[in-house]
Structure 1
């Protein structure tokens, strides 16, 4: 069997974002870890929720791990979309975990290993198939051993892969030519961009990296709709 045919035969995990699967060869590879990065307000959390809702529709339990924001606020913000999110929360097909309350405590700082073990514990308590971790931005300032990030993150990603959960990690985009450990260690990187053109906001998505998957790395136009983010096949300009 040729390599191309082998890749096509692999199972895929639908992203839940209309148009995205078309540019990543049919969806995510199961059990892999993906990074979604972009500027503030670009839709990173929305993509994460769409990913979990898609799984819930197909009988797959999902977990949203909030590292900073209050999950209640996130749920309230997502009610603007036609996701039916509250129903999945009530049925416990999607669970929200608030680790921010621990990370933001002034009297105690977790180590990277403690943080990642807390996330793994939340995942292991249920038969979770999809995970969203939101957000990795500035966590170096909230842990006591910031210098150990790459080592601990590598172990954490390996543990997620062994659990066979498909994971999305979100992070703020810092500088276009500045990459973090997450960029190198994740199996795929999706970048959301926005531009000002003729006094209008133009939004675009780019698949920067997608291991083991033939993908289109060109900029694609995106738009916020009542059903969430939609990816279009054409360029944004």
Structure 2
């Protein structure tokens, strides 16, 4: 696979979030599985969408596994930010795996399920964790990246050891193929032991935080760890714009 070279003795794959890539010397090592741990309202989901689009711009195939949101909602939000994904869906370079719709097939009114595709209809009785495993282990010919949105659903629905095993599969497949993968998790929803288990398993951990300062909200990220790299020793402020998440280092390189 043809990865970009950062000139410091190691290969890096750009995440697609330019300020973060500056901080990381060009991106992250191939085969890295990153845990994005975000407080509600910190917009870690937007980070995931930029991560997806960054992969498409880097000529990678991308899978997006959604257990928390309707796929149509994700696509609409990406298009609102001018991240044109339609052509990538059509040519197969962007694949959405819907684990959300089939979960609610039997409880939603028929008008909400009448447009369910034959493929999704067959998935309505599928175990979501097995669907995640089959998605991750699917053989892909091109370089690729993936998003799991989110692992918090699985932690609510399955025991911790079962989820840990699934993440270990995600990580091992990434290392074998050189793919970078992003796993979303909601901060504060799970106990400390659960959070620490996931922080330990993943190669990288990025925390998204909110803090009230008077009448304003300050948003920061902390790169807690990244495999094989020395990470910044400070939190990094970011803002939300119509272009997505912008870290302060997009205009000021330290």
- TM-score normalised by length of structure 1: 0.83
2:228 is the alignment partner of 1:201:
no
Partner of 1:217: 233
Deviation at 1:84, TM superposition (A): 2.2
CA contact 2:67–2:153 (8 Å) conserved in 1: no
Report how many aligned residue pairs link the two structures. 227
Answer yes or no: is the 8 Å Cα contact 1:38–1:173 preserved in 2: yes
The answer on 1:182 being equivalent to 2:203 is: no
Q: Distance in 2 between matches of 1:217 and 1:100?
A: 37
SS of residue in 2 equivalent to 1:120: helix
Cα pair 1:37 1:192 within 8 Å, conserved: yes
Paired position in structure 2 for 1:162: 176
Shift of 1:60: 1.2
- Segments of 5+ residues of structure 2 without an aligned counterpart are 1-5, 107-123
Map of 2:34 onto structure 1: 34
What SS is found at the alignment partner of 1:9?
A: coil
Distance 1:11 1:134, change over 3 A: same
Q: Which moved more, 1:38-47 or 1:152-161?
A: 152-161
**Do the aligned residues in 2 keep the contact of 1:25 with 1:215 (CA within 8 Å)?**
no
Aligned positions of 1:58-97 closer than 5 A:
58-97=58-97
CA distance change for structure 1 residues 53 and 156 in 2, over 3 Å: closer, same or farther? closer
Deviates more, 1:161-170 or 1:97-106: 97-106
Pairwise CA distance, 1:95? 1.7
Displaced runs of 4 or more, over 4 A: 102-109
Q: 2:207 aligns with which of 182, 191, 197?
A: 191
SS in 2 for 1:119: helix
Residue number in structure 2 paired with 1:134 = 149
